[in-house]
Amino acid sequence: MNKIMKKSEVVSLATGLTRPSRDEAEAAVRTLIRWAGDDPDREGLIGTPDRVVRSYQEFFSGYDEDPAEMLQRTFEEVEGYDEVVALRDIRLESHCEHHMVPIIGRVHVGYLPDKRVVGISKLARVVDAYAHRLQIQEKLTAQIANTLQDVLQPRGVAVVIEAAHQCMTTRGVHKSDVTMVTSRMLGAFRDNGETRREFLTMIGRNTI
């Protein structure tokens, strides 16, 4: 028998999981405040559960978005353009899935078109859709590149991410000014050293 979903239940598009209610989410925040050692009913904290839940809706909005759908509209009137298209320094704001603290950095995306291109804002939206989920940087890098390759079917895709992880800078080993760099090269960017170097030059890097 199929499960009948209540009207009040909200299902994540990305995972298919049913979310707790807003009241349950706010109650969980109140529990964490008490666990931290403070009183959720004092003046400065009484509105915090509501604010945290609203913040989470923004931080993790990617669970309600379909990155592949964002790339469906493409353009073929490109006058034969067949060189690298690169979008660099896309602001990255994500959260570590291990400690739920921020990952802040930038993403560089490039692809080698095969007859069609996509609006550049869509590249940034794909980055945001995956970034606004609980992540590790390696997986995020692969998800962006694989989606662009699967949907656009270009001759190649390149993604480089440079980011600082607060799970390392503000806790644990407390090492500030450390940047993690990951990359995924597909198609011509993996097979052709000259194409890969062209992209790296465009984003201001000599090597990965």
Average pLDDT in the 60-86 region? 95
pLDDT value for 5: 47
Q: How many residues comprise the chain? A: 208
Q: Which pair of structure tokens corresponds to residue 205?
A: 């890097």
Is a pLDDT exceeding 90 seen at residue 39? yes
pLDDT value for 175: 87
pLDDT value for 1: 41
User: Catalytic residue among 137, 143, 162, 198, which?
Assistant: 137
User: Catalytic residue among 24, 69, 72, 98, which?
Assistant: 98
| pTM summary value | 0.93
Of residues 129, 63, 127, 136, the one with CA closest to residue 96: 136
d(CA 94, CA 59): 7
User: Catalytic residue among 26, 108, 165, 198, which?
Assistant: 165
Contact 68, 88 (CB under 8 A): no
pLDDT value for 98: 97
Grade residue 60 by pLDDT with cuts at 50, 70 and 90. Answer: very high
d(CA 136, CA 178): 16
Mean pLDDT check: name the lowest of 14-18, 27-31, 169-173, 184-188. 169-173
> Could you read off the pLDDT of 123-159 as tens digits, one per residue?
999 999 999 999 999 999 999 999 999 999 999 999 9
User: In the beta sheet, which residues pair with residue 74?
Assistant: 118
d(CA 105, CA 179): 8
Contact 167, 142 (CB under 8 A): no
- DSSP labels for 194-206? HHHHHHHHHTT-S
Element (H or E) spanning 107, and its range?
strand 102-112
